[in-house]
Amino acid sequence: MAEITRAEVAHLARLARLALDDSELDRLASQLDVILGAVAKIGEVSDAEGVTPMTHAVPLENVMRPDVVVTSLPRDDVLAGAPAAEDGRFRVPRILDDET
Amino acid sequence: MNDLTRLTAREIAAAIAAGETNAVDVAQAHLDRIAKIDGQLHAFLHVDSEGALETARRVDAGEISGPLAGVPLALKDVIVQKGVPTTVGSRILEGWRPPYDATVVERLKSAGVVILGKTNMDEFAMGSSTEHSAYGPTHNPWDLDRIPGGSGGGSSAAVASFEAPLAIGTDTGGSIRQPAAVTGTVGVKPTYGGVSRYGLVAFSSSLDQAGPCARTVMDAALLHEVIAGHDPRDSTSIPSPVPPVVEAAKQADISGMTIGVVKELSGEGYQPGVEQRFAEAVETLTGLGAKVVEVSCPHFAYALPAYYLIAPSEASSNLARFDSVRYGLRVGDDGDRSLEEVMSLTRAQGFGAEVKRRIILGTYALSSGYYDAYYGQAQKVRSLITRDFTEAFALADVLVSPAAPTVAFPLGEKLSDPLAMYRQDLATIPSNLYGGPAMSLPCGLSDGLPVGLQIMAPTMRDELLYRVGAAFEATMPAPVPPLDWEA
């Protein structure tokens, strides 16, 4: 099952919002094939059936905090680190497609 | 006082408290040393002389006191400090100045610890050599042509070369312990949830844990006590008292303890020189009055594959926050391109090769059709590894192994072979998956390079590491690099 094609890597890159160029896709496809071959060893563990998956090392549930209003970070301090800001907000590139 | 940079953290704090020196002189001595040698080492990405001296002045004015007041520290660049550049070793955050302090930083500041600057690391803490830093590698003070370990190679190199007596690292799969092993320093990954992750830039949230780096076990314990403890701002923070680590380091007595040697953490992949030093260390522990038994943890053989499915999966999700909108880099925003195009261009340019590899790997492991076979199976194996630990701790108080399978390797050697790099974490990963604490401390040299002894303890029994570590440390002189490259 551990085989990954260049087309698959291109699809994954699109899902992960990474605009990879052709040489990167070639390199990643061959490297991922090797890495997946190694991690596929996980399938050999025969006594895993019926075992509860472990998502976390700390068995904590529903950690609550008091429902009180606290001050948040100053808006301008946060916006100062943004690549673009306007009128006290993050400015983003076009989000609607006007061609279709 | 002679060379202030050669003192341990405890000695520095004592000398300041006794009026034999002052915090400003101590800070300046370390800043001078950084200015002198860091051009060759590249342990620091940013040096905050002004901030360091300001804290030192406040300590000297008596505004802050405590067991580490006035002691300099190097902070791994994965932890945010208000107003001080934080890059996580990545171009994507170049120039970003965080608007808040991490809980770890808050605690260091209120303890009067003098933060000298931010240390180099593999980008987003992904790597075992610091070569994946977007800002160039750090060099090992024992041999400038070799790696200082990773991802926290800047912190380990700074401590080993006397640029700082203390450092903070983070350990997701070994990023505190493997650098400690290959630089001859002490590094501790506390119990997961023992130190707050608030303000730690997330790589793999179920594994990431910050911890102390130092040259002695006692110094690591003093720093551990300062940074550990419950934090309501981290929902995975454990609401229990901090284990008595300083007390345990003072006690340093292991007579009557049972120590388990993990059978599976030896053999293939471990250098003979490393195995030899480890075998001698086990003999030393026996000589100190411990009973040594062999334990078997059969699922440890699958720790590496489980980790390289779980960590990249969590990373692929965590790193989605670097979206070119809220902080850091934005590429290609020409007014015409869509948000999605700008985001994809930014991430392609801002992330390095290893980060991209792991994002793609994680995206694959989480995608429908593969989820059960990869991510789901890895989580089941994580349960089995935890069961192995629980069973082993029924037979032994602590477990031991080599901390890293090899000594520091030459820069460039494993850069084009990701799997070979991943194998550096063979011995350290199990404790991350389980969540228990683990320490690496020096146990001699092989071919003139340091070897690390790893001690692993049950969750929230961090004090056992310090008890065993301090007892072992007392049997051998601290390793000091020759530093023959110093100008």
Q: Residues B253-289: pLDDT tens digits?
A: 999 999 999 999 999 999 999 999 999 999 999 999 9
Computed from CA positions of residues B175, B181, B183, B187, in that sequence, does the dihedral angle turn out positive or negative? positive
| Domains of chain A, residue spans | 6-43
**Complex ipTM more than 0.85, yes or no:** yes
Residues of A in contact with B194 (CB under 8 A): none
CA distance linking residue B288 with residue B468, whole number of Å: 10
Give the 3-state secondary structure of residue A81: coil
Name the minimum distance, in Å, from the CA of A73 to any CA of chain B.
7
* Chain B contact for A63 (CB, 8 A cutoff): yes
CB contact under 8 A, B363 and A78: no
Q: Which pLDDT does position A100 carry in this prediction? A: 52
What CATH number is associated with residue B28?
Answer: 3.90.1300.10
**Taking Cα atoms as reference points, which of B358, B329, B367, B363 lies closest to residue B346?**
B329
Q: Which pLDDT does position A1 carry in this prediction? A: 47
Q: Exposed e or buried b for every residue in B425-455, given b needs 16+ CB within 10 A?
A: bbbbbbbbbbbbbbbbbbbbebeebbbbbbb
Beta carbons within 10 angstroms of residue B329's beta carbon:
20
Whether B414 sits among the annotated catalytic residues: the reply is no
In a domain, B356, yes or no: no
Catalytic residue among B129, B151, B155, B313: B151
Q: Which pLDDT does position B449 carry in this prediction? A: 98
In a domain, B25, yes or no: yes
Q: B349-397, pLDDT tens digit by residue?
A: 999 999 999 999 999 999 988 899 999 999 999 999 999 999 999 999 9
Best A1, A4, A68, A92 member to test B by mutation, with max B CBs in 10 Å, is A92
Q: B422-442, pLDDT tens digit by residue?
A: 999 999 999 999 999 999 999
Cis peptide before B129 (omega within 30 of 0): no
Percent of chain B topping pLDDT 70: 100
Q: Are B10 and B218 in contact, with CB atoms under 8 Å apart?
A: yes
CB contact under 8 A, B340 and A17: yes
CA distance linking residue B456 with residue B401, whole number of Å: 8
CB contact under 8 A, B328 and A93: no
**Taking Cα atoms as reference points, which of A42, A23, A66, A83 lies closest to residue B379?**
A42
Residues of A in contact with B299 (CB under 8 A): 45
**Taking Cα atoms as reference points, which of B28, B36, B124 lies closest to residue B72?**
B28
User: For the whole prediction, is pTM greater than 0.95?
Assistant: yes
Mean of all residue pLDDT scores within chain B: 97
Q: B196-206, pLDDT tens digit by residue?
A: 999 999 999 99
φ/ψ region of B457 (left if φ > 0, alpha if ψ in -120 to 50, else beta) reads beta
What dotted CATH number matches A6-43? 1.10.20
In a domain, B63, yes or no: yes
The angle subtended at Cα B455 by Cα B182 and Cα B88, nearest 5°, is: 50
User: What average pLDDT score do residues B101-129 get?
Assistant: 98
Name the minimum distance, in Å, from the CA of B345 to any CA of chain A.
5
Q: B125-157, pLDDT tens digit by residue?
A: 999 999 999 999 999 999 999 999 999 999 999
In a domain, B461, yes or no: no
**Taking Cα atoms as reference points, which of B202, B261, B220 lies closest to residue B67?**
B220
CB contact under 8 A, B418 and A35: yes
Whether B90 sits among the annotated catalytic residues: the reply is no
Whether B151 sits among the annotated catalytic residues: the reply is yes
The angle subtended at Cα B146 by Cα B141 and Cα B149, nearest 5°, is: 80
In a domain, B119, yes or no: yes
Amino acid at B251: Q
Number of domains in chain B: 1
Q: B5-49, pLDDT tens digit by residue?
A: 999 999 999 999 999 999 999 999 999 999 999 999 999 999 999
Domain that holds residue B107: 4-250+472-486
Flag whether pLDDT at A2 surpasses 90.
Answer: no
User: What average pLDDT score do residues A8-28 get?
Assistant: 96
**Taking Cα atoms as reference points, which of B252, B309, B312, B259 lies closest to residue B471?**
B252
In a domain, B422, yes or no: no
Structure-block tokens of residue B310: 């779980």
Residue with tokens 């007041």: B69
Q: Which pLDDT does position B374 carry in this prediction? A: 94
Q: Which pLDDT does position A65 carry in this prediction? A: 83
The strand pairing partners of B432, in sequence order, are none
Flag whether pLDDT at A34 surpasses 50.
Answer: yes
